[in-house]
Structures are given as C-alpha cells and as structure tokens.
Amino acid sequence: MARGPEGSRHDGAAVTGSRPELTLESSVTYLLNLGLLDLASLVRHGLRIEEVPGRNRNFRVLGGPGQTFFLKQAPRGEIGTNGPLAVEASLYDWVATDARAAGLRPVFPRRRHYDPERSILVLDLVTDAAHLHVLEDEASPHYLSASHRLVATALAECHGLPVRLEATIGAGLPEAAPWVFDLARPAPASLRELAPAQLSVIQAVQSQPGVVAALDRLRDEWRPTRLIHGDLKWNNVLVHQDSAGIPVRVLLLDWEMAQLGDPAWDVGAALHAFLTEAVLGLELTDGSSPEAAAGLLGTVIPRLLPAHRDFWNGYLAAARLTDAEAGSFLDRLPGHVATRLLKSAYEWSQAEAQMPRSAAAILQLGINMLLRPDAARDVVLGLGGRGSVRA
C-alpha cells in the first residue's frame, strides 16, 4: 500500500505508476485517516459519495453534520508545487491567515487539507447554497440582479488586494497573459491533436488581420497588477440566501486559474456569461451560417443590456475607481469580453468535426467586437462612452 505525507495508508486506491489515484472507496479511507471523518458519525448518519466530472478527479462526500467534503486530485501530469491545484491550495491558505485578505474570507471555500505528494485538495462542501447557473433558469430577475451584484462586489474586493502577493503565497501566482491571446499562432505540434472544428475556429481568426492585431495588442497590454479569479463563470458561483429568500452572500469556487492579471479579464468573464447564456437559449440550426447565427443575437442583446449595466455599476461602486481608472478599464473591457467569446467558441468545438452553431455565433460576435470595440462597448455591452461609465 502507498503511504501519504502523514504515513497513513490509503486502502482501495487505484495505483497508476507511483501515485495512488483516488476512487470512491479510497476517498473514505483517506478522510478517515486524516481524522476528518469518524466511524461513529458514519454509523449514525450514513455516507453518500459521488464522483463529479471535471478535469480533476473530483468526489463529493456527504456524511453527518460537519462532515461533508469536496475532494480534488489533479491530473498526473500536474503534480508539483506550481500546478493549478497547488496554486489554489496556497491561495486558500493565504486568504485564511493573512489579515490583508480578511475581506475575502466570506467568498472563499474553506480548505481542510492539501496533500502535495498525491496532489489532493480537501475542501468543506457547501450544502446550504445554490449554484448561480441553476438559478439563472428559475429565479426572478430581482433575485438574479442581487446575486450578480454580490459577484461584482466579491470581484472588486479581490481586485483591491495589494499588487504583489506571490511572496506571501507559497506556490507563487502565475502572471502570463491567457493563452487565447495567441489563438492565431498555435504551436505546430498542437495542431495534430485539435478537432477539425477547433481548426476552423483558428482559421477564422487568422483570416482577419484586424482580429490578430487586436489580440496581439491585448496580450502586449496585459499587466499582472491584481489578483484575479481567472475562470469566472456562473457554475463557479454559489449563492447563500437569508430566511426571506434574499441573496446575501456568494461563494466563488475553483480558484485553480487564479493569477496576477488584469481585472478586466474577470469582469469581462461575467459579461461574457450573459452573452453565452443567451446564445445557448437560441434556436440555432446546423444550416445557418456563422454570420446568420450571430445575427440572431441582435434580437436578444438589447434584453441583456440592463444586466450588463447593473453588473458594471455594481463593480464600479465596490471598486471605488476614479473616473480615469474607470474609463481606462472600460476601454479594455470589450476586448476582454470578445476574447472570452473566442475562447468559448474554441472550447465548444472540442471533439467536433463541424463547428457547432452556438460556437459559430459567439465566434462571429467576438470577431465583430474585436474589429469594432467602440461599437461593441456601446451596442453589445450597453456601457456608453468614457463620460458615462457610471450611468
């Protein structure tokens, strides 16, 4: 049997190479050996374990009171002190212990254990909150608006932390610009592994010199100035509500992509989420061209503008930016939203022979926004010019 860092045995693990892989069975033994689960509680309350799909090996463990956990084990190739899971674990530790991060603690999951040798992170599983992506389909507009503003406030709190944090965060935070800024220049070796639809996305971007130039400019202007989440989307947000059903707090999950970067990347991700949700709600047929698919968005974008403005104004109020800072931020924002759209188009095309209509729609919209950022700011985002950023 393999042994963990504390010398405990991990019975029932599936061993691949030298590292035992977590399984449904071994995750229970693992938690028992750590003292996070106890046999008396298991007998009294029972236990349910669920595997959760994702790029990591994920397990949801539901025991008695105070004994519910979420376990993540990184892919074998990411073992090490600077892998995404190591960065996430170190960030949780820093937020929990550094006085400068006290304002962030209510929106961060609680870390219970990290095993660097097996690359396993154990978090408290939150069971009294709802995923925002589920609520999008059923909650009232007022509830959603309140939830979105809580997310905006949480992001502003994160972005307001001191600039240089890597000296105090054990794993060190990445600083590089997101890979998608180089979408038009893929590494030759990677092309053999791409689906035909992903190649189509790359070719569409390469065919537009103005888009390539815009991506180059965004990459060159990238400044690692603030802590950013890096992977904000609605299924990474949990919403807590009070006894009256009013949203009072959000929890931001999955900080694996956290880094030092541009806050516009996170805010752009939120506005991108409004747009992609709208695309997924459209009736898109395989016979429609990318231009026609994107054209259908013209009927729904006006309905998204109040949500865009509400989120932006919520962020501005919490971030306390000067007019000059807000104007500069707003100048960068359309490009970041557009780049996020290109990234989603590429990801939605994975394993596809032909680009899905939804991917084609957001790809064309992203291209249009990069080519005409001022029009994108006014028409697609509804945020007006520099003089009306607080409207």
pLDDT for position 171: 60
Domain with CATH 3.90.1200.10 in the chain: 130-388
Stretch among 201-215, 218-232, 283-297 having the lowest mean pLDDT: 283-297
SS (H, E, C) the chain: CCECCCCCECCCCEEECCEEECCHHHHHHHHHHHCCCCHHHHHHHCCEEEEECCCCEEEEEECCCCCEEEEEECCHHHCCCCCHHHHHHHHHHHHHHCHHHHHHHHHCCCEEEEECCCCEEEEECCCCCEEHHHHCCCCCHHHHHHHHHHHHHHHHHHHCCCCCCCCCCCCCCCCCCCHHHHCCCCCHHHHHHCCHHHHHHHHHHHCCHHHHHHHHHHHHCCCCCEEECCCCCHHHEEEEECCCCCEEEEEECCCCCCEEECHHHHHHHHHHHHHHHHHHCCCCCCCCCHHHHHHHHHHCHHHHHHHHHHHHHHHHHHHCCCHHHHHHHHHHHHHHHHHHHHHHHHHHCCCCCCCCHHHHHHHHHHHHHHHCHHHHHHHHCCCCCHHHCCC
Domain with CATH 3.30.200.20 in the chain: 14-124
pLDDT at 386 over 70: no
pLDDT band of residue 3 (cuts 50, 70, 90) is very low
Compute the distance between CA of residue 228 and CA of residue 260 in angstroms, rounded to an integer.
Answer: 6
Task: Give mean pLDDT, residues 201-223.
Answer: 97
pLDDT at 359 over 70: yes
pLDDT for position 10: 31
pLDDT in tens, 98-129: 888 899 999 999 999 999 989 999 999 998 88
pLDDT in tens, 6-52: 333 333 344 444 678 999 999 999 999 999 998 888 888 889 999 99
pLDDT for position 163: 58
CA atoms within 13 A on the CB side of 166: 15
Distance of CA 252 to the CA centre of its chain: 9
Going by CATH, does the domain composed of 14-124 fall within 3.30.200.20?
Answer: yes
pLDDT at 366 over 90: yes
8 Å CB contact between 132 and 123: no
pLDDT at 218 over 80: yes
pLDDT at 199 over 90: yes
Compute the distance between CA of residue 261 and CA of residue 181 in angstroms, rounded to an integer.
Answer: 14
Q: Name the burial class of residue 11, with classes exposed (0-12), middle (13-18) and buried (19+) by CB atoms within 10 angstroms of its CB.
A: middle
The sheet that has 120-124: what strands, in order across it?
A: 48-52, 57-62, 68-73, 120-124, 111-115
CATH H-level superfamily of 130-388: Aminoglycoside phosphotransferase (APH), C-terminal lobe (3.90.1200.10)
Copy the structure tokens of residue 189.
Answer: 């070796």
Task: Give mean pLDDT, residues 345-353.
Answer: 95
Torsional class of 25: left (φ above 0), alpha (ψ -120 to 50), beta (otherwise): alpha
pLDDT for position 374: 95
The sheet that has 237-241: what strands, in order across it?
A: 130-131, 237-241, 247-252
Q: Higher confidence at residue 274 or residue 140?
A: 274
